[in-house]
Amino acid sequence: MTDDASYCAQLAAGYRLDALAAERFLALAGRCVALEISGTAIRSRDEALRLHVADSLAGLEIDAIRRAESLCDIGTGVGFPGIVLAIARPELQVTLVDAVRKKVEAATALARALEIQNVECVWSRAESIGATGSPARESFDVVTARALAPLTVLVEYAGPLLKPGGTLVAWKGTPDQDELADATAAEAALGFGAGELIETRPFAGSRGRHLYVATKHLATSDRFPRREGVALRKSIKAR
């Protein structure tokens, strides 16, 4: 067994996953490095395993992800964390959403190559898929986002997509107090409870990695989502 294969086996065992999951993690890392449109500077399978696969698996530390039946990964790129979570939980229905068509095509190709049956890939902006009248509006148990936008923007993107009782899980570095305060203001506007910042160490030597977890309690106002790009240009602020 190669070092990378052994690492995948250890990852799978740590989350009580089977050997097929370990095999798929290894294949996913190799295919990700081979993509010309990875959106990262990662050049080796070892790096892909740590910085993409292991980092994505940290989501399994969150009860909402372990219990969810449906998950929408916004700004998914080529499929992180969504594809990894789909491998880890074959019964979970995962929708991967990105505004860049080439990335969605790459994610689709990865899912097909790895024979992952519980993934749907959608070329769309988060504001469009969550719009009033969309069949996806308020239909997901969990929304995930990894290295996509400030927390206040993520709350606004996630709110229209989540069912009441659904949860946003955002992969973040170490947000400063202003970002956290703005997120609190967005949560109040979108019907969320107060979010929680949870430190995680997905691989040896990892530092400054957190999951931000916030649960929506109320139905989303028809005021949201705002027009495309507005959440970023005129984000909800604490003051």
pLDDT digits (tens, 9 = 90+) for 162-185: 999 999 999 999 999 999 999 999
Res. 3: pLDDT tops 70: yes
Overall domain count for the chain? 1
- Domain with residue 102: its CATH number is 3.40.50.150
187 lies in some domain: yes
Res. 1: pLDDT tops 90: no
66 lies in some domain: yes
What range defines the domain where residue 109 resides?
61-233
What is the C-alpha to C-alpha distance for residues 169 and 145, in angstroms, rounded to an integer? 7
87 lies in some domain: yes
8 lies in some domain: no
79 lies in some domain: yes
Give percent of the chain above pLDDT 90: 87
26 lies in some domain: no
pTM value is: 0.95
